Amino acid sequence: MKNTVLSFKEAKEEGKKLSMLTAYDYSMAKIIDSCGINGILVGDSLGMVIKGDEDTLGVTVEDIIYHTRAVKKGAKNALIVGDMPFLSYHVSIEDAVRNAGRIVKEGGAHAVKLEGGATVAKQVKAIVDAQIPVMGHLGLTPQSVNAFGGFKVQGKTEEAARKLIEDAKLLEEAGAFSIVLEGVPAAIAKLITEAVSIPTIGIGAGVDCDGQILVYQDMLGMFDDFVPKFVKQYANTGKVMRDAICEYIEEVENCSFPEQKHTFKIDEEELKKLY
């Protein structure tokens, strides 16, 4: 079944939970999509898991377009959301619409995501007015790492929680079709989820969000620089990969790979002519 912004809204109305994962390339998008995931985010988390940076700030619109193109070819049914990088929607509204448009037009995304509430509501409205669906993102928004003084759970005081609920309402009013809630106490995520009619997608925001999202390297156990509290490792593919790669190296060194069946042949008569 094809996922759309409409089916996302219907899922909330029907109480059906939405599943999302990140992907950054064709092969992985194909695997994830084949499992029946609702949405794939080409996240600016690629700054960390693909580019190896310490944060997401160095990601460019070009990076997102490049990876979205690959993901688009691998995914048949998932809603594809392209992340708007740091500084691609902060400078001006015009700039925000142009960059969102590029992610859709050149990358093939069905929607874009950007971080923030009241401060970006104008951008959200302008992008939605350009017929581009927008996913909001509140809480521990990684592009704010320097402003927050680190990757810290948000909404832990009454004032901060009220602000988050207000921001969520503003995003809905501005036309967002969904909101990611990241690093927010579960009870606050529940209040936000009840306060808006658009689906909330949680990451480190408890079970009461309308859906969940994880970075695939985290949930597959491929990225062990650090494992955040909100990550569940569903598999240890890091170990599976290391074991396979070590075996390959050993077999290359002792000549047990390649075998006959991996090898191309030339007709004996043709070969003789060479000597």
Tokens of 203: 């990451």
Q: Which of 43, 117, 136, 199 binds Na ion (CB under 5 A)?
A: 43
H or E, element range at 202: strand 200-203
How open is the CA angle 46-151-171, to the nearest 5 degrees?
75
**Which of the listed partners (ligand KIV, Na ion, none) does 199 bind, with a CB threshold of 5 to 8 Å by partner kind?**
none
Q: Which of 213, 219, 220, 222 binds ligand KIV (CB under 6 A)?
A: 213
| 94 in catalytic set | no
Toward ligand KIV, which CB reaches closer, 206 or 266? 206
37 contacts ligand KIV (rule: CB under 6 A): no
**What residues have CB less than 8 Å from 212, skipping those under 6 apart?**
17, 18, 19, 20, 201, 202, 203
83 contacts ligand KIV (rule: CB under 6 A): yes
- For the chain, what percentages of helix, strand and coil (3-state, to nearest 5) are there? 45, 15, 40
Residue of 14, 182, 250, 259 marked active site: 182
**Which of the listed partners (Na ion, ligand KIV, none) does 189 bind, with a CB threshold of 5 to 8 Å by partner kind?**
none
210 contacts ligand KIV (rule: CB under 6 A): no
Q: Do β-strands 134-139 and 178-182 pair in parallel, antiparallel, or remain unpaired?
A: parallel
List C-alpha distances in Å: 51 to 89, 142, 262: 21, 16, 33
Residues in contact with ligand KIV by CB under 6 A are: 22, 41, 43-45, 83, 180, 182, 203, 213, 215
Known binding residues for 3-methyl-2-oxobutanoate are: 44-45, 83, 113
Residues in contact with Na ion by CB under 5 A are: 43-44, 83
